[in-house]
Amino acid sequence: MLSLNLPTFDAKIDTRDGKSVIFDVIRQRYVALTPEEWVRQHFVHFLTEHKGYPRTLLANEVQVALNGTRKRCDTVLYGRDLRARMIVEYKAPEVEITQAVFDQVMRYNMVLRVDYLVVSNGLRHYCCRMDYATGTYRFLREIPRYEEL
């Protein structure tokens, strides 16, 4: 798989039914190793091992009901009060981060109303902090450590 702009880690990769799978430490099971999943597993490792995010407060593939349809947030971080605090949306490395990608995560946020939105394709990462009082958001220079949230 492609080298990413994220720290490397000891990924558990296997072959099942002739297809590559990777162990998801959040879901505690092997999942299909797609380019997007490669980014997700690296980013989750980055959050937990380098930014201090508790693994127990992260969830992958969180379903939300939006305009009569079911959508899935790639990763959601919860606070200790179990309120959603951050949505992370992943794209494959070859997918450019565009306004459409931000629009997608903003739609999810209409339901969850989190404090932080993150988008990553493994090469470029963007994080913004929502300000609901003013109806604006501010891009941050880097992904905050957990204790800074």
Q: Are 146 and 85 in contact (CB under 8 A)?
A: no
Q: Can you give the residue ranges of every domain in the chain?
A: 13-148
Q: Are 37 and 22 in contact (CB under 8 A)?
A: yes
Measured CA to CA, the distance from residue 93 to residue 95 in angstroms comes to 5
Tell me: the pLDDT tens digits for 104-134?
999 999 999 999 999 999 999 999 999 999 9
Q: Which fold has domain 13-148?
A: tt1808, chain A (3.90.1570)
- Here the tokens at position 9 are 């880690």
Q: Can you give the pLDDT at residue 2?
A: 84
Spell out, as residue ranges, where the chain has pLDDT lower than 70: none
Query: Other CB atoms closer than 10 Å to residue 87's CB: what's the count?
Result: 26
Q: Can you give the pLDDT at residue 52?
A: 97
Q: Can you give the pLDDT at residue 113?
A: 96
Q: Can you give the pLDDT at residue 28?
A: 97
Q: Can you give the pLDDT at residue 66?
A: 85
Q: pTM value?
A: 0.94
Q: Can you give the pLDDT at residue 1?
A: 72
SS (H, E, C) 96-114: CCCHHHHHHHHHHHHHHCC
